[in-house]
Chain A
Amino acid sequence: MTIQVEEGVHSPLPSGQDELNLNELPASIRERLRDRLYISRLRQRPQTPWNRLVLAFALIGPGVLVMLGDNDAGGVITYIQTGASYGFGVFIPLIFVLGGIAYVVQEMTVRLGAVTRRGHAELIWKRYGPYWGAFSLVDLVVANFLTLITEFIGIRVAAEAFGIPPALAVASAVAFIAGTLIFLRYWTWERIALGVALVNLVFVPIAIMAHPDWRAVAASFVHWRVPNFMSASFLILVSANIGTTIAPWQLFFQQSSVVDKGLTLKDIPAGRRDTALGVIGMMAVALAIIVLAAQYIHGLPGADNFQIAQVLSTLHHRLGGAIATLFAVGLMEAGLIAAIVITASTSWAVGEALDLPRSINEPPKQALTFYLPGIIATAFAGAIVLLPHVPLGFLNLTVQVVATVFMPAAMLFLLMLLNDQELMGTYVNSRRRNVLSIAIMMVLIICNVLYATATIFPHAL
């Protein structure tokens, strides 16, 4: 078998050989081939419901991880602040809109990754040059670092609810994240991350067990009242909700994950289903938290400025210890799953942009330059959280708003790449998809401009 190769250490196959020696292939390729063989064999089995389910489960991964990772500790806090400040109205219908937006955006990363077999950072760097490549990378790494701080704050606060010392909780989380990333290969890492992500759904039974006023929930769709539409606090919360639903790291993460998993053109429909499933999970969790906060925290004195410890205390007081405990578990998981995927996102992006190794299938000895950036950032973020008096609410909103500010830039690159005939061939965006994507970008920009006006001229609106 003759193999075409590309110069460089990251070629998919070794150069200069006509006869294929499977065990001389790079370790990362051998791992990927094994995973792809598994998928291929599943596809060849008789199409029974069970076999189809097993195949569907095998192809689940990047989409579910990115969307449940999106319900991170910062997201949980944003949803609580949202429900606590505005009750059932306004934001519950908005979550459905945001879910649709998230799907439209993330689906594009599936196509981009499957068609080009390159990560987002690599494509921006190579296609638009080092200036925009470095801009995107720095933007991503800084945003990821800030976001990681909020994840560890969530982990710390949740751990304190169980009487676990903060240093132990944070150190254990860092060790788990680093250990799984370094010592596991992509498939196992993804399965474990999915297992952690599943716990994210704990907020749904919590909301059901809390017996919220479902009539009020339903009424929020009929009577869509927006109090103080032009107030800075409302616009910041809108920005924060958008920022927590679609953030730049998600574009980078899902595309890199699709590439590292080895998804191909024929996997694009499965990638879309994976993303849709993740979006449904994301929306269910977001709605559950907003409903819970709207029912039990909204209207309390100072509710819109509640710290997470006060939220746990309120839930304990009003709904009992079991629900407060489950909520703390969910918060800890939210921080952990987001930290897992954001750490990988940082490593992938640095590897792709700087032409370093860029696969979780790489053995650690040969790819320390790939693993270290993500892990160092994560360890630093964890260390910062152990410092006293970290302003959680302020930091959380800052992260979300900064992400929202940079999101149009990330969307612009995404749109340009998705309309690049040379890269995408027949998989370029359709006209309808472009109209939708440009509309989303315009919504983001308008939201930011309104927010800007509200902050600079708070009395003018």
Chain B
Amino acid sequence: MNLDHYDRKEIERLLRDEGWDHPPAEVRRILPSGWYRAAFWALRAYIIVMVVVVAIGFARGAH
């Protein structure tokens, strides 16, 4: 892919206008707290319960 065929100024304007001339914003890790923390624990419990339920369901021939 050779960009020489394109107008350099046009490309530079595009880079600038669309923000390709700088990296995307940094994403730093956050430690969930409060409601987020509760939601994560609820999610863990939900997933475990549902996986067990699905296994029991199919083992009993619910399909």
Interface, chain A (partner B; CB < 8 A)? 1-6, 11-13, 20, 22-23, 25, 27, 29-34, 36-37, 40, 116-118, 122-123, 126-129, 132, 185, 232-233, 236, 262, 264, 393-394, 397-398, 401-402, 405-406, 408-409, 412, 416, 423, 445, 448, 451-452, 454-456, 458
Residues of A near B47 (CB, < 8 A) are 405-406, 409
Residues of B near A236 (CB, < 8 A) are 62-63
Residues of A near B12 (CB, < 8 A) are 1, 20
**Do the beta carbons of B63 and A264 come within 8 Å of each other?**
no
**Do the beta carbons of A34 and B6 come within 8 Å of each other?**
yes
Number of interface residues of B (CB under 8 A): 44
Identify 6 residue pairs between A and B in the complex whose beta-carbon atoms are under 8 Å apart, listed by A's number. Answer: A1-B15, A37-B14, A116-B27, A405-B51, A445-B46, A454-B62
Assembled-state Cα–Cα distance A262/B24 (Å): 12
Q: Is the interface of B mostly helix, strand, loop or mixed?
A: helix
Q: Is the interface of A mostly helix, strand, loop or mixed?
A: helix
**Do the beta carbons of A448 and B50 come within 8 Å of each other?**
yes
B33 on the interface (CB 8 Å rule)? no
**Do the beta carbons of A12 and B23 come within 8 Å of each other?**
yes
**Do the beta carbons of B29 and A129 come within 8 Å of each other?**
yes
Interface string of B1-38 (1 = CB under 8 A from A): 11110101011101111111111111111101000100
**Do the beta carbons of B8 and A22 come within 8 Å of each other?**
yes
Please list the 10 inter-chain residue pairs (A to B) with the smallest Cβ-Cβ separation, ordered nearest first: A455-B57, A6-B23, A117-B24, A452-B53, A22-B3, A4-B22, A126-B27, A30-B1, A405-B50, A455-B62
Beyond A27-B1, A264-B18, A452-B49, 20 additional contacts (C-beta under 8 Å) are A2-B21, A5-B22, A6-B23, A11-B23, A20-B12, A29-B20, A33-B14, A33-B15, A34-B3, A37-B6, A37-B11, A37-B14, A40-B10, A118-B27, A401-B54, A405-B50, A408-B43, A451-B57, A454-B62, A455-B53
**Do the beta carbons of B20 and A232 come within 8 Å of each other?**
no
Which residue on chain B has the smallest CB distance to residue A116? B24
Residues of A near B27 (CB, < 8 A) are 116, 118, 122-123, 126-127, 423
Contact with A37, one of B10, B16, B30, B63 (Cβ below 8 angstroms) = B10
Residues of B near A2 (CB, < 8 A) are 21
**Do the beta carbons of A33 and B11 come within 8 Å of each other?**
yes
Which residue on chain B has the smallest CB distance to residue A123? B27
Residues of B near A185 (CB, < 8 A) are 1
Residues of B near A128 (CB, < 8 A) are 29-30, 32
Residues of B near A423 (CB, < 8 A) are 25, 27
Residues of A near B21 (CB, < 8 A) are 1-4, 13
Query: How many whole Å from A34's CB to the nearest CB in chain B?
Result: 6
Which residue on chain A has the smallest CB distance to residue B26? A6
Assembled-state Cα–Cα distance A409/B42 (Å): 10
Q: In this complex, which of A5, A401, A454 has the most chain B Cβ atoms within 10 angstroms of its Cβ? A: A401
**Do the beta carbons of B62 and A31 come within 8 Å of each other?**
no
**Do the beta carbons of A452 and B3 come within 8 Å of each other?**
no
Assembled-state Cα–Cα distance A444/B15 (Å): 42
**Do the beta carbons of A416 and B18 come within 8 Å of each other?**
no
Residues of A near B1 (CB, < 8 A) are 27, 30-31, 34, 185
Residues of A near B2 (CB, < 8 A) are 23, 30
Residues of B near A123 (CB, < 8 A) are 27
Which residue on chain B has the smallest CB distance to residue A22? B3
Which residue on chain B has the smallest CB distance to residue A305? B63
